């Protein structure tokens, strides 16, 4: 295995104190990157975070309260980073919110715009402001998405729309920033057991899929999310640019409705 060395590189991860964001931040820190992590007010357990990072690195990450939808917070965040280093080499746009809708009657333009403001626009706004503050775009710009744009999930309408828009903008950014040497990609992660996932889809999903014949081995492990991002930032995959990558351990291919039926028959549950 080729070790990934990110020593001397600075990484910014929005929403990096929980779930996939934290898994990404931990793996980047393990590879040697200098970490700056944002979180919203009151959402981070500082003691637990420091313990988690102490297990992979002797250098504490810098935790900064910053709401990705507030421009003043973004400026303050970049000022804090600039006081410590002279570049942002890796930017992971992970923070998002999930405004859930039960039916079309619950569609509100204001709610859609708020979802886009949190889940789509930071990819663009942070990228531009990093260039303004440091004189260069990040080498690696990565958005975190899901398969929501391609599948129907109850209540996921606005989230899926914001993720679809995120993916479109990432492709355009990859062209606009190619001459700058940046690589812009989006990763769609499959189901991962996090607080955010359970908030959107409810508790019990992972028990359900196991009960219906899907092996636990095919469910994506959260640490693999972080490893995927590190691989994209390693320099070994620089041929990837403007791509929407699905990372789900093969679940989206193997777990279709016909296979679920056949598995239920073989286990006796379909009789």
Summarised one tens digit per residue, pLDDT across range 202-241 is 778 877 777 766 666 778 899 999 999 999 999 999 999 9
Per DSSP, the three-state class of 201 is helix
pLDDT of residue 250: 85
In the chain, the number of structural domains is 1
What mean pLDDT value characterizes the chain? Answer: 89
What are residue 181's phi and psi, to 5 degrees?
A: 90, 5
Query: Residue 210 is encoded by which pair of tokens?
Result: 């196991």
Residue 53 lies in a domain: yes
Residue 271 lies in a domain: no
Question: Contact 77/38 with Cβ under 8 angstroms?
Answer: yes
Q: What is the pLDDT of residues 74-131, one digit of tens each?
A: 999 999 999 999 999 999 999 988 788 888 999 999 999 999 999 999 999 999 999 9
Distances 220 to 149, 164, 251 between C-alpha atoms, Å: 19, 22, 8
d(CA 183, CA 119): 20
Residue 225 lies in a domain: yes
Q: What is the pLDDT of residues 173-205, one digit of tens each?
A: 999 999 999 999 999 998 888 888 887 777 788
Q: What is the CATH number of the domain that holds 250?
A: 3.40.50.720
Domain that holds residue 239: 10-266
Kind of pairing, strands 244-247 and 183-189? parallel
Residue 3 lies in a domain: no
Residue 254 lies in a domain: yes
Residue 133 lies in a domain: yes
Number of residues that this document lists for the chain:
271
d(CA 271, CA 258): 15
Helices (H) and strands (E) in the chain, counts: 11, 7
Residue 17 lies in a domain: yes
Proportion of the chain above pLDDT 70, given as a percent: 90
3-class SS string, 153-186: CCCCHHHHHHHHHHHHHHHHHHHHCHHHCCEEEE
Count CB-CB contacts under 10 A for residue 149: 19
Question: Contact 33/11 with Cβ under 8 angstroms?
Answer: yes
Residues 6+ away with beta carbon under 8 Å from 18: 39, 43, 44, 194, 195, 196
**With 80 as the cut, is the pLDDT of residue 172 above it?**
yes
Residue 5 lies in a domain: no
CA dihedral 22, 127, 11, 14 (to 10 degrees): -20
pTM higher than the cut 0.85: yes
């Amino acid at each position: 295995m080729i070790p990934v060395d990110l020593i001397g590189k600075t990484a910014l991860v929005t929403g990096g104190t929980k779930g996939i964001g934290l898994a990404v931040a931990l793996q980047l820190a393990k590879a040697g990157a200098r970490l700056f992590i944002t979180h919203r007010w009151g959402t981070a357990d500082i003691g637990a975070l420091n313990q988690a990072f102490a297990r992979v690195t002797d250098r504490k990450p810098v935790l900064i309260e910053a709401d990705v939808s507030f421009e003043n917070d973004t400026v303050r965040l970049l000022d804090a980073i600039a006081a410590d280093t002279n570049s942002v080499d890796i930017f992971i746009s992970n923070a998002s919110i999930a405004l859930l809708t039960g039916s079309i009657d619950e569609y509100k333009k204001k709610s859609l715009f708020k979802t886009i403001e949190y889940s789509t626009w930071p990819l663009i706004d942070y990228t531009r402001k990093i260039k303004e503050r440091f004189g260069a775009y990040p080498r690696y710009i990565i958005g975190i998405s899901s398969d929501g744009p391609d599948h129907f999930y109850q209540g996921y309408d606005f989230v899926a729309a914001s993720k679809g828009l995120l993916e479109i903008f990432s492709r355009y950014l990859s062209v606009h920033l190619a001459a700058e040497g940046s690589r812009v990609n989006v990763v769609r992660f499959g189901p991962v057991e996090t607080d955010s996932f359970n908030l959107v889809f409810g508790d019990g999903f992972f028990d359900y899929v196991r009960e219906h014949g899907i092996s636990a081995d095919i469910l994506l492990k959260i640490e693999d999310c972080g490893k995927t991002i590190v691989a994209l930032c390693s320099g070994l995959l620089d041929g990837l640019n403007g791509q929407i990558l699905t990372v789900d351990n093969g679940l989206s291919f193997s777990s279709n409705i016909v296979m679920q039926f056949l598995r239920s028959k073989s286990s006796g549950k379909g009789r």
